[in-house]
Structure 1
Amino acid sequence: MNKLLKFFLFIFLFSVQGNAQNTYVFLGSYNRDVNAESIQVYELDMKGNPKKITSVKNIINPSYLTLSPDGKYLYACTETKTPNAGSVSSFEFNPEKKSLTFLNKQSSGGENPVYLSVHKNGKWLVNANYTEGSVAVHPILENGKIDSLAQNFQYKDGSVNKDRQTRSHVHSAVFSPNHDYLFLPDLGADKIRCYAFDENLKKPLVETTTPFTKTDLEAGPRHFTFHPNQKFGYCIEEMAGQISVYNYENGVLNKIQRIAAHPEKIKEGFESSDIHISPDGKFLYASNRGKENNIAIFSIDENGLLKNIGYQSTYGNHPRTFALDESGNFLIVTNVLSGNATIFKRNPETGMLKKISKIKMENVSCVQIKKI
């Protein structure tokens, strides 16, 4: 091999190595103790095997995690299920140093924060507070820290179930595909609330002519996701164990289907929880807790309608959240009561899941996967 060829080969290999990305798994826990690990970070190899690289203590009950678009910062709902408390916290993630460093925290604007989302420009953080039924908006500073509250809306209206719907319980805050609207499934009010989101305003949430979409009574809307083609939205209903499918356009939802997330033999005690769509838009996955502890798998037709094609045990108890990696190769689900996260390999042709391994973490509550 001549010197010139060796030189170009060296440059090529250096370039490939410099642009290489790894897949990281972030897990949160209802640790309830500052001395216990609250967040763990793993590196996932190409076969789906996890390797722990770092962890964080001194944070109470991170119930939900999300990352900045570039993966440099991790955000968490913290002090969840803590009386008279509730916060959102920021961390800097450094994959080279394999470190996760606490930056700061701010009030979540209400008790029991359970969900948060980052705007695609990386400058806004929105979180949902379950117990007090509210949404809060924080600016994100250039160094990744969370600024003080910019907006905070609380709701009082409930619905018909006297045990669980005496008042609003906002369970998630999800941006529309273009991040110009924000949707808030409200379990307590049987509504999916909606605001326009103007990223250029100091107070970006703006009221719309369609402030909410009413769901079926005692549905208990919980989490929401959009199809990659941006034409359809899907809401998992915790109390009814159903998935409602909507046509979507310019901040408006119109229901076109409602289908059970659980097997027909399950007649009551539904605890449906999380919902996600494969990156190719061909399959939808929904988690069921309680009597079932499974992932329901659906195929998605071109018209957005769902067809159930199977169920997969989560190999644990109480699957609260799950996540798909950006390639669609892996699905990881958190089983809170059994203290384990199960890693599945996903078949892109059939949509079916095959267990690879488990991660042990006491009271594991949430998961995110990011290629960085």
Structure 2
Amino acid sequence: MKKILTFISILSAMTSVAQKKSDYPKSYDVVVGTYTSGSSKGISVYRFYTESGKLAYLNQIDDVSNPSYLAVSSDNKFVYAVNENDQGEVSAFHFEPKTGKLDFINKQSTLGGAPCYISVDKRRKNLFIANYAGGNIAVMPLNEDGSIAPAAMTRRDDGHGPNKERQEKAHVHTAVLSPDEKYVLYTDLGTDKINITKYKGGKDNPIVVANPPFVTVKPGDGPRHLAFSNDKKFLYLITEMGSSVVVFDYDNGKLKQRQEITLLPDGFTGQTGAADIHISPNGKFLYASNRGDANDISVFAVNQENGELTFIERNTTGGKGPRNFAIDPTGRFILVANQNSNSIVVFKINPDTGRFLQAVSRAEIGNPVCIKFAPAE
């Protein structure tokens, strides 16, 4: 009887694992934003296969100037892209997941130069755009047909940091919604701040300054990208010039710094430029990319009780300039956009240890700088 019960227990565990695997589609669309100063002409779409990690080209839309950062709507019907130019614009596209086809809808001014980041709320009411050169965040309302309306408001930062070349003024780098979408947080590389605003969602003054309105990091670190923990209790910041990850306790729009940990090995003296940061789907690991002479991705274990990080390993990215990367929804692959070597490299990772295993595929594409997953159907 005991043997029968043991067998049933093992069979149940195997069924549970199988069910978890079957929860994921076998394929996804991968939408890729680029800089169009080289061979790329716009946005490309690939099919990604979750069992093999292979990429297959699907479609592209040309004549889109510098679509350097993308957002896919929660209903999977629309893709929005910043046009990272001096005049600052944002474009809307209808998206057909089965074919990967993108059709242009319209374009609007972001009221600030060099927009470099975009996010969209789940209800598809507003876009939030970080204008790097303009030093401001713009809130852009969305119409029912997916088109973009003129900006409802902008909020500009003032000030500077100690680095006279990089921090001569405000440089807003991200605009991220909190998991409950009650707040919008945006980083300012130029003033070493994370700004915090309440998101009201209406047409008039959709975001208002929170209390406290910001937190600061070490002068000269240059805040860049943000990632929330899966349990929503912690916020992680990657600093571009400091090449570090800063851990914050997060509670209803309030931040308290807990830890700062470097991305660099002891004795490193080369050029750096930390870029992107993501949490694994199971919430156990954090990944952070670094450019310059480093060209690597660091892996950290996430303490599930206090959110603190412990270094695991550092990996080359198979190219140069890993500006952006994405972890596939199954948590078994990581796709790295190597901007300066015109490639996306897919690595298999161990979801139980967080470690890189091996490169499994590669796609040649001009200056890739943003990767977004979308369900294929």
Show the counterpart of 1:38.
42
Structural mapping, 1:325-340, within 5 Å: 325-340=328-343
C-alpha distance in structure 2 between counterparts of 1:69 and 1:326, whole Å:
15
Deviates more, 1:40-49 or 1:261-270: 261-270
Indicate whether 1:67 and 2:72 are aligned. yes
C-alpha distance in structure 1 between counterparts of 2:238 and 2:265, whole Å:
15
C-alpha distance in structure 2 between counterparts of 1:24 and 1:95, whole Å:
7
Question: Where in structure 2 are there 5+ consecutive unaligned residues?
Answer: 1-23
Q: What percentage of residue pairs aligned between the two structures are identical?
A: 38
1:211-237 Cα shifts (integer Å, max 9, x gaps): 110111111000011001000000000
C-alpha distance in structure 1 between counterparts of 2:37 and 2:106, whole Å:
19
Question: Where in structure 1 are there 5+ consecutive unaligned residues?
Answer: 1-18
C-alpha distance in structure 1 between counterparts of 2:40 and 2:340, whole Å:
16
Show the counterpart of 1:324.
327
Shift of 1:278: 0.6
Show the counterpart of 1:12.
none
C-alpha distance in structure 2 between counterparts of 1:287 and 1:360, whole Å:
20
SS in structure 1 opposite 2:170? coil
C-alpha distance in structure 1 between counterparts of 2:242 and 2:269, whole Å:
10
8 Å Cα contact 2:76-2:97 kept in structure 1: no
Shift of 1:203: 2.5
Indicate whether 1:358 and 2:362 are aligned. yes
8 Å Cα contact 2:46-2:100 kept in structure 1: no
1:318-342 Cα shifts (integer Å, max 9, x gaps): 1101111222222111111111011
TM-score normalised to structure 2 length: 0.90
Shift of 1:268: 5.4
Show the counterpart of 1:369.
373
Shift of 1:188: 0.3
8 Å Cα contact 1:113-1:127 kept in structure 2: yes
Shift of 1:304: 0.2
8 Å Cα contact 1:232-1:246 kept in structure 2: yes
Structure 1 runs of 4+ aligned residues shifted over 4 Å read none
8 Å Cα contact 1:196-1:207 kept in structure 2: yes
C-alpha distance in structure 1 between counterparts of 2:75 and 2:351, whole Å:
26
User: How many residues in Structure 1 have an aligned counterpart in Structure 2?
Assistant: 350
C-alpha distance in structure 2 between counterparts of 1:107 and 1:337, whole Å:
28
C-alpha distance in structure 2 between counterparts of 1:345 and 1:124, whole Å:
35
1:27 partner letter? V
1:362 partner letter? G
8 Å Cα contact 2:40-2:367 kept in structure 1: no
TM-score normalised to structure 1 length: 0.91
SS in structure 2 opposite 1:337? helix
Show the counterpart of 1:266.
268
